[in-house]
Amino acid sequence: MTKQIREYLEYIHAFMAGEHTHEEYAAERELLLKRIELFQHERLIHLLVTLAFAVFFLLSLFMFLVKGGAGLMVLALLFLVLLIPYIKHYYFLENSVQKLYILYYKIEKN
């Protein structure tokens, strides 16, 4: 998904750099709106997964602190190791969608 978003951002920036008719801007605006909807859906799914892993991490950490045991510590560390890339990817998705909003508004003015 990261590669797809980066490629689309490059494409839309290249489109914005050129001169186009009002109809071409309108068509591109509609395509951009569809892409934004798809990326918003992806962002929502990743938000839910990220929150789930955060809750699992906190629960396993709490259980480790209450009961102790190496197994619970390993489980908490595994959830933390998985949580960090999810946070990074969600951050990328969030910022990319915000960039697409800005580009949408710029196309809308044309």
* pLDDT confidence bin for 20, thresholds 50/70/90: confident
Three-class HEC string of the chain: CHHHHHHHHHHHHHHHHCCCCHHHHHHHHHHHHHHHHHHHHHHHHHHHHHHHHHHHHHHHHHHHHHHCCHHHHHHHHHHHHHHHHHHHHHHHHHHHHHHHHHHHHHHHHC
Q: What is the pLDDT of residues 43-69, one digit of tens each?
A: 999 999 999 999 999 999 999 999 989
94 and 12 Cβ atoms separated by less than 8 Å:
no
Residue 82, domain extent:
2-109
Q: What is the pLDDT of residues 57-108, one digit of tens each?
A: 999 999 999 998 999 999 999 999 999 999 999 999 999 999 999 999 999 8
* pLDDT confidence bin for 1, thresholds 50/70/90: confident
Number of domains in the chain: 1
Q: What is the mean pLDDT of the chain?
A: 93
Q: What is the pTM of this model?
A: 0.81
pLDDT at 109: 85
- Is pLDDT above 80 for 14? yes
